């Protein structure tokens, strides 16, 4: 490969690494071309990239992008999933693909910000609920004390209203 071509690949990889919120390294040995195309298509539909990369070029790109911790995962054939928005979705798609297709695809690990992820960390991410669900759960937890305070403060007023209504019915009937 010519030096210009390698430089272009390094530039593209570095750009993807700097833009992504999560990068997951996989070992794709044993995957058929059909299975690779299916996985790539599924990831692309969700706004992610799946790219086979040479380890030396990836090492240079990781250094350029400031994600040098990724170099710890560079051994053997490598394909990287770049997730740009949701950090959970790439792990979920990979996990679903491995389970549903009985795939030989192996997750080597990943990088989330400056943190290096183990394959177990990526699996743990895959079972997390979607971001929207987590946000709604957090909001309900924040709202619970306020709801309790509201109930405590409004209880005497409700009691007074009930007494007044009962007295009103009693006077109307008598």
pLDDT digits (tens, 9 = 90+) for 143-155: 888 888 888 888 8
Domain count within the chain: 2
Distance CA 114, CA 101 (A): 32
Residues 99 and 116 in one domain: yes
Q: Say whether both 40 and 116 belong to one domain.
A: yes
Q: Are residues 64 and 120 in the same domain?
A: yes
Q: Of 91, 106, 128, at which residue does a domain stop?
A: 128
| CB within 8 Å of 85: residues ≥ 6 apart | 21, 47
- Average pLDDT of span 123-130: 85
Same structural domain for residues 95 and 58?
Answer: yes
Q: How far is CA 43 from CA 46, 92, 95, 116, in A?
A: 5, 11, 12, 22
Count of CB atoms within 10 A of residue 78's CB?
Answer: 19
Tokens of 72: 């710890």
2 has a pLDDT exceeding 60: yes
Neighbours of 75 (CB within 10 A): 11
Residues 33 and 99 both lie in one domain: yes
pLDDT for the residue numbered 174? 57
pLDDT of residue 1: 61
Provide the domain limits for residue 148: 130-174
- Confidence (pTM): 0.73
Tell me, yes or no, whether 121 and 140 share the same domain.
no
């Amino acid at each position: 490969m010519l030096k210009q071509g390698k430089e272009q690949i390094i530039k593209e990889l570095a750009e993807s690494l700097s833009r992504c919120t999560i990068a997951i390294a996989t070992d794709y040995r044993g995957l058929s071309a059909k299975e690779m195309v299916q996985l790539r298509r599924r990831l692309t539909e969700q706004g992610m990239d799946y790219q086979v990369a040479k380890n030396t070029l990836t090492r240079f790109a990781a250094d350029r992008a400031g994600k040098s911790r990724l170099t710890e995962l560079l051994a053997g054939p490598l394909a990287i999933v770049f997730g740009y928005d949701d950090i959970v979705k790439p792990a979920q798609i990979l996990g679903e693909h491995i389970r549903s297709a009985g795939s030989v695809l192996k997750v080597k690990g990943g990088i989330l910000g400056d943190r290096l992820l183990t394959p177990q960390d990526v699996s743990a991410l895959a079972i997390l609920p979607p971001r929207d669900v987590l946000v709604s759960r957090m909001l309900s937890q924040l709202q619970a004390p306020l709801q309790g305070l509201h109930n405590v403060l409004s209880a005497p007023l409700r009691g007074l209203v009930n007494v007044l209504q009962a007295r009103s019915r009693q006077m109307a009937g008598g």
